[in-house]
């Protein structure tokens, strides 16, 4: 703890400030005390973030979510209090007595083997608790892990996400600490999933066991390059710990272990972990280095073990205009020399103040792997593996995994490789059109194919229209901070827009690219619009649902819901929608009248929940279950626990009498009574996003780690 500056506050909310604990990209951290003597670590947001409405909205949501994590056995620092409406918002977490992991290793060297495995198991439990609430840490690193006498505590989970999409980072960011970000974070910007945390965990364990950062030191761009090319130095990691560390650092997110797998690999159960975490559990017996000074001077391990001085996040500004045109026809991955050449030749951008750079990756893959599927099950409707189509990962985070041409004979797939792909029913490429940016889920109509280009955070920078032959018909620049796919309304194409949460609306484009209508919604939409029976429904950051006439955009009605109201779904004669706040689920009539609202402690996700109408019920998925609600009163009709591996899951899709979804690499079919009718593994690894499967005839297409897998539904 350091002394207070003259400009530091003496009180924060009801708490008395005792001293400074540190600072970072989010703000300053103070040690404070409640009236009853409870000590807290209080983080106060920087003024530049506090003035950004988008940041405030996200900070409010993330704090609420973070408050649901913590408690005994979670190994996370509990969020005790917060004021997201203050002039400078703040949040208070329980104060953990003990050093952070970075300082412990700097002072005493690598942790003993037993301590490393205790640390691995406890961090696995912490990540499991965080992911179970729909959160991703995004910045797991040694300085965000505090070593208490009864075990480690993870801090700052979920909060770094609030920085994304603010005025400081809106042009495109990677949020995380250099040396601890995953390869997909570098490739996809802010597109992260739970597997990213596991990669960071692997780097943390390598540091704890070996005493130095596994990807070394140097310029940020060089360290990021090492991550992308798998140039990792684990020579200091003891042999016993190598398998676990190496598995966490796999380049394929779907091939990494889950947090539960990490706990098991560390050789612990919840009980043995509690018994092992006693006072002195992480103590090192490392002898002092020759010539090391006594007293308060720190022992410094060999060069390369220092964490980045940027402390809280790595931010790499980049816009699509910054990228040179690169055309590659070979599916061969880029060489290390080519990547270095691009960095030195203008393809990289280095931010001011020494913060970061961007690596331009080879933009061509499009390879197809046709494999013989396993013997299909005799059960009616059981799918078999047909083929896989790779695009270096699907663009965006949500929406349908692909679009089908009106005749069902062609599949359109958007990739992080910057191209829109047309794929035949045999899984072979028909055409591929480069669009200069990550292509999010496309929409196919009789007039052509439409798609949005990812803006690097959570929305879109451009709307593109192509012919069914792959020729670009027109493009429109678009500031759509929270929109990832276009929506059809007859021959019109609808998109939500808004550069920030302050203002935005819905816009309708005609097939020729002209604007048929554009209607302001006040505060910006939180997601894509939904169209049903000639009415457009959209949730906004103004905490309301708006209904518009699909023909002309005229406002029909407005209804209050909850903070940061999500995307509504029509089910029978009602609308079901999620939001932030204490009451996270809402039911509205088709004229906006409130029917019910309720809190939910199981689903999580708030406005991010995607509902589908299925058998007169509203159905949604989480990382471990499928839930069906009655739209009339919000009561639960049924739940189905999903036993598949991993926690990545898809939004559900309905076709006939079956709802389909993916959990991990497993595809499930569930009937109207909530009973699982079949399951089948989809080759290709688990996708990070929640892109929903697409069903047509006797085929189902599902998102995988690097593209699309087609499964053939056996006819009954």
CB atoms under 10 Å from CB of 202, counted, come to: 27
Determine the Cα–Cα distance for residues 313 and 315; give it in Å rounded to an integer: 6
339, 228 contact by CB (below 8 A): yes
Which residue reads 């309708």 in tokens? Answer: 508
Residue 626's beta-bridge partner residues? 621, 640
Evaluate whether 630 touches 637 at the Cβ level (below 8 Å): yes
Q: Give backbone dihedrals phi and psi of 200, rounded to 5 degrees, phi first.
A: -60, -40
Q: Is-contact 547 537, C-beta < 8 A?
A: yes
- Cα(124)–Cα(201) distance, rounded to whole angstroms? 8
Beta bridge partners of 548: 536, 555
* Beta-carbon count within 10 A of 380 CB: 11
Backbone angles phi, psi at 345, to 5 degrees: -110, 20
Tokens of 235: 């020579």
Residue 303: burial class (beta carbons within 10 Å; 0-12, 13-18, 19+): exposed
Block residue for tokens 């484009």: 509
- Token pair of 480 as six digits: 């759509």
Give 218's DSSP letter: S
Cα angle 234, 239, 240 (rounded to 5 degrees) comes to 125
DSSP string, 251-276: SSGGGSPPHHHHHHHTT--HHHHHHH
DSSP state of 607: G
Q: Return d(Cα 99, Cα 104) in angstroms, integer.
A: 6
> The tokens of 609 are what?
């929940």
* DSSP, res 70: -
d(CA 655, CA 665): 20
What token pair was written down for 628? 């069906």
Check residue 7 and report its DSSP letter. Answer: T
**Selected catalytic residue, list 52, 139, 241, 365:** 139
Measured between alpha carbons, how far is 230 from 249 in angstroms, rounded to an integer? 9
Tokens read off for 180: 């601890």
> Is-catalytic flag, 139?
yes
Give the SS3 label for residue 197. Answer: helix
- Cα 441 to Cα 61, 392, 449, 692, 699: the distances in Å are 26, 14, 11, 10, 19
Distance between CA atoms of 685 and 193, rounded to whole angstroms?
Answer: 14
- CA–CA distance, 114 with 299 (Å, rounded to integer): 22
The pairing of strands 676-681 and 666-670 is antiparallel
The residue whose two tokens read 């509990």 is: 78
**C-alpha neighbours within 13 Å on the C-beta side of residue 560:** 2
Give the separation between CA 58 and CA 61, rounded to whole angstroms. 5
Is 43 annotated in a binding site? The answer is yes
Q: Is 468 left (phi over 0), alpha (psi -120 to 50) or beta?
A: alpha
**DSSP per residue, 341-361:** HHHHTTS----GGG-----PP
Euclidean distance between CA atoms 665 and 643, whole angstroms: 11
Q: Which residues are catalytic?
A: 139
Binding site for ATP, residues? 43
């Amino acid at each position: 703890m350091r002394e207070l500056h003259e400009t530091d506050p003496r009180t924060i909310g009801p708490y008395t400030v005792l001293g400074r604990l540190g600072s970072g990209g989010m703000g300053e951290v103070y040690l404070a005390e409640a009236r009853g003597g409870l000590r807290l670590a209080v983080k106060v947001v920087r003024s530049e973030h506090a003035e950004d409405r988008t940041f405030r909205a996200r900070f409010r949501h993330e704090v609420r979510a973070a408050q649901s994590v913590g408690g005994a056995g979670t190994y996370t620092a509990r969020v005790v209090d917060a004021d997201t409406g203050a002039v400078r918002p703040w949040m208070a977490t329980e104060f953990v007595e003990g050093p952070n992991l970075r300082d412990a290793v700097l002072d005493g060297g690598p942790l003993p083997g037993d301590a490393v495995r205790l640390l691995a198991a406890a961090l696995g439990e912490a990540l499991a608790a965080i992911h179970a609430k729909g959160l991703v840490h995004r910045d797991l690193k040694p300085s965000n892990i505090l070593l208490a006498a009864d075990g480690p505590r993870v801090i700052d989970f979920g909060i770094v996400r609030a920085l994304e999409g603010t005025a400081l980072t809106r042009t495109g960011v990677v949020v995380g600490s250099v040396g601890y970000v995953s390869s997909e974070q570098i490739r996809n910007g802010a597109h992260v999933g739970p597997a990213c945390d596991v990669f960071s965990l692997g780097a943390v364990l390598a540091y704890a066991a070996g005493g130095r950062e596994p990807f070394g030191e140097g310029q940020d761009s060089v360290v990021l390059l090492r991550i992308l090319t798998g140039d990792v130095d684990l020579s200091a990691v003891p042999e016993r710990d190598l398998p676990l560390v190496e598995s966490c650092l796999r380049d394929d997110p779907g091939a990494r272990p889950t947090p539960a797998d990490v706990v098991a690999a560390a050789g612990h159960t919840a009980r043995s972990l509690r018994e092992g975490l006693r006072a002195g559990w992480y103590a090192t017996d490392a002898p002092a280095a020759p010539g090391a000074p006594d007293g308060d001077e720190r022992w410094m391990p060999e060069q390369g073990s220092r964490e980045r001085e940027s402390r809280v996040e790595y931010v790499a500004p980049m816009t699509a205009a910054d990228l040179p045109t690169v055309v590659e026809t070979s599916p061969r991955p880029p060489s290390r020399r080519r990547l270095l050449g691009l960095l030195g030749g203008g393809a990289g951008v280095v931010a001011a103040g020494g913060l970061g750079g961007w690596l331009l990756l080879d933009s061509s893959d499009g390879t197809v792997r046709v494999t013989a599927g396993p013997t299909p099950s005799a059960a009616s409707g059981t799918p078999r593996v047909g083929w896989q189509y790779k695009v270096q990962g699907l663009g965006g985070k949500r929406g349908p995994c692909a679009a089908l041409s009106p005749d069902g004979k062609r599949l359109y797939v958007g990739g992080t490789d910057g191209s829109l792909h047309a794929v035949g029913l045999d899984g072979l490429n028909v055409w591929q059109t480069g669009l200069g940016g990550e292509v999010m889920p496309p929409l196919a109509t009789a007039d052509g194919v439409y798609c949005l280009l990812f803006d690097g955070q959570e929305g879109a920078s451009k709307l593109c229209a192509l012919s069914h032959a792959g020729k670009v018909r027109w493009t429109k620049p678009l500031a759509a901070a929270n929109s990832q796919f276009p929506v059809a309304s007859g021959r019109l194409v609808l998109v939500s827009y808004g550069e920030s949460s302050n203002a935005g609306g819905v816009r309708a484009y005609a097939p020729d690219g002209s604007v048929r209508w554009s209607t302001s919604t006040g505060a910006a939409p939180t997601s894509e619009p939904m169209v049903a029976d000639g009415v457009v429904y959209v949730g906004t950051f103004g905490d309301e649902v708006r209904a518009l006439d699909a023909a002309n955009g005229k406002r029909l009605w407005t209804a209050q819901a909850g903070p940061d109201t999500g995307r509504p779904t029509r089910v029978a004669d009602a609308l079901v929608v999620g939001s932030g706040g204490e009451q996270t689920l809402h039911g509205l009539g088709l004229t906006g009248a409130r029917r019910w609202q309720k809190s939910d402690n199981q689903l999580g996700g708030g406005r991010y929940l995607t509902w589908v109408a299925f058998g007169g019920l509203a159905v949604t998925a989480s990382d471990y279950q499928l839930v069906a609600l009655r739209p009339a009163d919000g009561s639960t009709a049924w739940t189905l626990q999903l036993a598949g591996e991993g926690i990545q899951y898809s939004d559900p899709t309905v076709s006939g009498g079956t709802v389909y979804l993916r959990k991990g690499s497993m595809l499930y079919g569930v009937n109207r009574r909530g009973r699982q009718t079949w399951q089948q593994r989809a080759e290709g690894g688990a996708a990070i996003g929640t892109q929903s499967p697409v069903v047509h005839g006797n085929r189902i297409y599902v998102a995988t780690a690097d593209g699309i897998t087609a499964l053939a539904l056996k006819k009954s």
